[in-house]
Amino acid sequence: MVESHESQKYLDIVRVLSVKERRFLALYIEDMNATKAYQVVSPEVKITSAATLGHRTLNRIKRKVGGTEKLLEAFNLGLDRLFGEIHRKLNAMETRYYQAERLGIFEDNKTQMDAVELLAVLHGFKRGSIDAHLSNADGGPLIIRYEAVGLIGGNGEGGNGEDA
Distance from C-alpha of 36 to C-alpha of 56, rounded to nearest angstrom? 13
> In terms of domains, do 66 and 124 share one?
no
pTM, full prediction: 0.52
- The answer as to whether 55 is a domain residue is yes
- The answer as to whether 28 is a domain residue is yes
Task: For residue 66, give its domain range.
Answer: 8-77
- The answer as to whether 2 is a domain residue is no
Residue 102: C-alpha distances to residues 5, 92, 125, 138 (Å): 40, 18, 38, 18
Nearest to 120 by CA among 108, 106, 134, 107: 134
Measured torsion, CA atoms of residues 31, 32, 35, 36, in degrees rounded to the nearest 10: 0
- The answer as to whether 153 is a domain residue is no
> In terms of domains, do 98 and 72 share one?
no
For the chain, 164 residues long, give each residue's pLDDT as a single digit of tens.
Answer: 444 444 777 777 778 899 999 999 989 988 889 999 999 999 999 999 999 999 999 999 999 988 888 888 887 878 888 889 999 999 999 999 999 999 999 999 999 988 888 888 887 776 654 555 555 555 555 555 555 554 444 444 444 444 43
pLDDT at residue 103, as a whole number: 94
Instruction: Write out the DSSP string of 11-43.
Output: HHHHHHS-HHHHHHHHHHHHH--HHHHHHHH-T
